[in-house]
Structure formats: structure tokens, C-alpha cells
């Protein structure tokens, strides 16, 4: 495209030498100056990852995401420890993940379509209200002293349903809360706050569980009610309504888009299979109880370790974003994730386990960062909710289905062999993807849509 109307005026059947000289002397410098100014603004923004918090609605939204992360991490500790204490069966830990996975994977694509058509703030309110119901089920189960864990699976299914709606809606909503030039900082700020929640949540959950699981659940209810208040304070955010009437094929538009973009497909599917086979965090209650013998407080510390590695990495990425050799960074991050999983599986030392989990979190953050940037930069506005739903489906599937896979293999082969084989399988997936997706391997820079 021409940088100004003067260039357009120079087109025609005759090209005057003076006009061409003028265009070289005036238009090209203007274009380069604009690029330098834009790059300078981006550098300033990335150097201050908290600048997005100056915008009221984003600050409220970031607070909701932080509180939600804190809540879910506390619940992960409490539910995992409570279920294993009741049944002493590793497979039941897998069923906790499966109960969340099934409703999530069935509903996330329709939820993405809702995010593209509905008022996104109301979608979030409805989803988090359902999460309140799920935690109340856990609270009642604990108060009555239940010995059959099917109510826990019911609560996790409600949580999975809620997550199917708030996850793609949240991703699609973020660009509506800040100006375009601040959006990179909004992503960085959000990642840092979420990882702080990942660090603080498990430790807080483990400490509160020492008092009693009901304390964890009452605290979670309080956090969710606060989230509802914060979301209600946001200004209404409506997606652009599509011009054409609804068609069932619209639900698959996000999938069609991802399949057409080989780099996006490779990035998110690599993360899916890596975390599917390397989901060692689901077995942390077993390691804390039977391998490392550190109790519920130690379990909280173990769950905190991946968040520490991810937070440090997120801060480094916010201040020094990856600009070159994107594909190599993607594969390297997942390879570190797999190797760290193997080390954790073999470790009988508490400190070595902490270090390996920190490295695991760092590698995972690199892959998450690259995947998020790919999706954000290459997705058109009118299908952002549906593409976010596809990305959410990969993320949710890799986490929840990976928990079930880890629980099942731990029951069959024991927890140590299950974790070690899963980490080795992750490294093998990386090696195979180097050949299957050369577009991703050779990718040097992010491309804009």
C-alpha cells in the first residue's frame, strides 16, 4: 500500500522522473518514520507491563482473572487431596480430570459462537454463577461427610461446563478493553497476574486445608462472589453481530480457520499432545503423600513450583518478547517441559522435584506465549470467539484429559513409571513434529493477519 495520496497520484500511463524522485525522497522516509514511531511505542509499552492497568475495565477484568485463578488453584489442592484421602485410588484422580473434560469439550465450540454473538459480560456472569454452584456442591459434600466421591465428579462437571463458556469469552473479550497499541501489554500483564495466582493459590489452598477442607470451599465461594461483583462493574461488551443469519456450519468456522493456518495448527496441537502425555501435576497428591512424604502443605508448595517458573518466564517475555526464531523457541520450550517431567518422575528429593517443576513451568510458558500470540495476531475480529474456542479446546483438553491419562497409567504402572514414560513421550512428540510441521520449525517471525 502507498503511504500517502501523493504516491497514488504518481500512478498512470506516464511516470515523470520528478514524481518518482519526489516519491523516493518524501513518501519512503515518511513510511519508515511511521514504522520507527510504531516500533518505539511498542518498545515503551513492552518495557512497562503494568501500563494496561491504567484502563479501568481491563483492571477490573484482570482482577477477576486473578481471583478466579486463585480460586481454581486452591480447589485443585483441596479436591485432589480429599479424593485421594477417601479412595486411595489414583484412577479417581483421573476421573476428576475426566469429569471436567467431557462437558468442556462438548460445549466449548458452541460457547465460542455465543461469544461472537452475545454480550460477553453477561456470558461471563452466567458462567461464574455456575461455578459458585459447583463449589457449593463440594461444600455440602464435605459438611455431610460423604464417603462416595460421585458428588465431587458432579461438581467438577459443573466446573467444566462453566469453563467451556468463560474461557473463550475471556480470550475474545480482552481486545475490547484496551486500545490496540496497549494490547501487547494487556496480554503480558494478564499472564503475570495469572501466574502469581498459580503460585499463591496452591500454597494458600494447602495451608487452609490443614484447618479443614470446608475452609477452602468457603474461601472459594467468597472469591467467586467477588468475581461476580467485579464483572458486573464492567461496561457492556458486545461482539460484532454477523451480517448473515445463524448457520450450523458457523460453529466450525474456528476449526476451518485453524486447519488452514498450518503454523497455528502445529503450535496448538503440539501443546495438546505434549501436556496430554506430560501431565504429571495430576499425580502430585500421590508424590506428596507416598513418594516425598511432605503432606498437604508440601503438596501446596509442589503445585506452586510450576507457577514460579512460569511467572519468571512471563516477566522476561514481557520485557524481552520473542521476535526471532519463533519456531525454534516453540519446540525448545516443549522439549524442556518433557525433559523436566522425566526428572521430576525419577526424583525422590523434595528440592530436586521443586527445581524440575519450575523448569516444567518455564517451558510450558514459552509454548503458551507463542500459541497465544499466533492466535491473536492471525485471527480476524469477526471469528475471534470461535477461534478462541478452538484454542481453549486444545488447552482444556491437554490439561483435563492429561490428568485422566496420568491417573489411569499411574494405576496400571505406578506413578513413577507413568510420569517418566509421559515425559519421554513428550520429547518424542517434539521430534516427530519437527518433521510433520516444517512451517512451524522454520518460522522466524510472527505474521500479522
In this structure, are 20 and 147 located in the same domain?
no
Domain check: are 14 and 93 in the same one? no
Do 147 and 192 have their domain in common? Answer: yes
DSSP 234: S
What is the distance between the alpha carbons of residues 193 and 199, in angstroms, rounded to a whole number? 10
Domain enclosing residue 11, as ranges: 5-36
Same domain, 23 and 151: no
Q: Where are the alpha helices (DSSP H) in 248-401?
A: 253-260, 262-277, 284-286, 295-319, 326-346, 350-378, 384-396
Asked if residue 447 belongs to a domain, the reply is no
CATH number of the domain bearing residue 369: 1.20.1250.20
Structural contact between residues 231 and 125, judged by C-beta atoms closer than 8 angstroms: yes
Residues 20 and 161 in one domain: no
Shared domain check, 165 and 57: yes
State the virtual CA torsion across 251, 402, 282, 148 in degrees, nearest 10: 70
Mean pLDDT of successive 10-residue stretches along the chain, which has 449 residues:
42 47 49 46 51 86 92 88 82 80 85 81 92 93 85 91 88 79 73 81 85 91 94 79 59 80 84 77 82 80 84 80 83 92 89 91 86 74 76 70 75 85 90 90 71
Nearest residue to 117 via CA among 246, 236, 248, 235: 246
Contact 442, 327 (CB under 8 A): yes
Are 59 and 31 part of one and the same domain?
Answer: no
Backbone angles phi, psi at 238, to 5 degrees: -110, 140
Q: What is the pLDDT of residue 428?
A: 92
Supply the pLDDT for residue 439: 86
- 25 and 100 together in one domain: no
For residue 446, being part of any structural domain is answered with no
Residue 243 placed within a domain: no
Q: What pLDDT was estimated at residue 241? A: 53
Q: Is residue 42 one of the residues assigned to a domain? A: no
User: What is d(CA 54, CA 51) in angstroms, rounded to the nearest whole number?
Assistant: 6
Question: Are residues 86 and 17 both part of a single domain?
Answer: no
The answer to whether 296 and 210 are in contact (CB under 8 A) is yes
Give how many domains the chain has, as a whole number. 2
Amino acid at each position: 500500500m502507498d503511504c500517502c495520496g501523493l504516491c497514488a497520484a504518481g500512478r498512470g500511463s506516464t511516470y515523470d522522473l520528478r514524481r518518482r524522485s519526489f516519491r523516493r525522497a518524501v513518501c519512503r522516509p515518511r513510511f519508515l518514520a511511521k514504522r520507527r514511531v510504531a516500533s518505539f511505542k511498542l518498545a515503551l509499552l513492552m518495557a512497562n507491563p503494568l501500563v494496561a492497568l491504567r484502563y479501568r475495565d481491563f483492571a477490573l477484568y484482570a482482577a477477576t482473572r486473578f481471583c478466579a485463578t486463585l480460586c481454581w488453584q486452591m480447589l485443585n489442592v483441596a479436591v485432589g487431596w480429599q479424593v485421594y484421602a477417601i479412595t486411595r485410588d489414583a484412577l479417581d484422580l483421573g476421573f476428576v480430570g475426566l469429569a471436567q473434560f467431557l462437558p468442556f469439550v462438548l460445549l466449548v465450540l458452541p460457547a465460542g459462537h455465543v461469544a461472537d454473538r452475545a454480550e460477553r459480560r453477561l456470558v461471563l456472569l452466567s458462567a461464574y454463577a455456575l461455578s459458585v454452584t459447583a463449589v457449593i456442591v463440594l461444600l455440602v459434600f464435605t459438611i455431610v461427610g460423604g464417603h462416595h466421591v460421585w458428588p465431587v465428579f458432579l461438581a467438577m462437571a459443573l466446573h467444566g461446563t462453566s469453563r467451556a463458556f468463560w474461557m473463550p469469552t475471556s480470550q475474545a473479550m480482552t481486545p475490547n478493553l484496551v486500545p490496540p497499541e496497549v494490547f501487547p501489554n494487556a496480554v503480558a500483564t494478564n499472564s503475570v497476574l495469572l501466574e502469581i495466582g498459580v503460585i499463591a493459590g496452591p500454597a494458600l489452598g494447602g495451608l487452609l486445608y490443614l484447618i479443614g477442607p470446608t475452609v477452602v470451599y468457603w474461601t472459594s465461594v467468597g472469591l467467586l462472589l467477588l468475581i461476580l461483583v467485579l464483572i458486573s462493574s464492567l461496561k457492556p461488551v458486545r461482539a460484532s453481530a454477523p451480517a448473515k443469519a445463524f448457520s450450523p456450519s458457523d460453529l466450525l468456522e474456528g476449526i476451518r480457520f485453524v486447519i488452514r493456518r498450518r503454523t497455528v495448527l502445529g503450535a496448538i496441537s503440539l501443546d495438546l499432545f505434549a501436556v496430554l502425555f506430560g501431565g504429571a501435576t495430576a499425580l502430585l497428591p500421590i508424590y506428596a503423600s507416598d513418594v516425598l512424604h511432605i503432606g498437604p502443605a508440601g503438596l501446596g508448595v509442589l503445585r506452586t513450583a510450576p507457577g514460579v517458573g512460569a511467572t519468571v518466564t512471563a516477566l522476561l517475555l514481557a520485557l524481552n518478547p520473542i521476535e526471532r526464531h519463533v519456531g525454534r523457541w516453540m519446540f525448545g520450550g516443549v522439549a524442556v517441559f518433557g525433559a523436566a517431567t522425566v526428572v521430576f518422575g525419577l526424583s525422590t528429593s523434595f528440592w530436586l522435584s521443586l527445581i524440575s517443576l519450575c523448569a516444567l513451568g518455564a517451558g510450558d510458558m514459552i509454548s503458551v506465549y507463542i500459541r497465544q500470540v499466533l492466535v491473536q495476531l492471525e485471527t480476524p475480529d469477526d471469528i475471534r470467539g470461535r477461534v478462541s474456542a478452538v484454542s481453549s479446546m486444545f488447552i482444556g483438553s491437554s490439561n483435563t484429559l492429561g490428568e485422566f491419562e496420568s491417573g489411569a497409567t499411574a494405576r496400571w504402572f505406578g506413578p513413577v513409571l507413568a510420569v517418566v514414560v509421559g515425559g519421554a513421550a513428550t520429547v518424542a512428540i517434539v521430534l516427530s513434529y519437527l518433521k510433520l510441521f516444517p512451517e512451524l520449525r522454520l518460522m522466524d517471525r510472527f505474521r500479522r493477519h
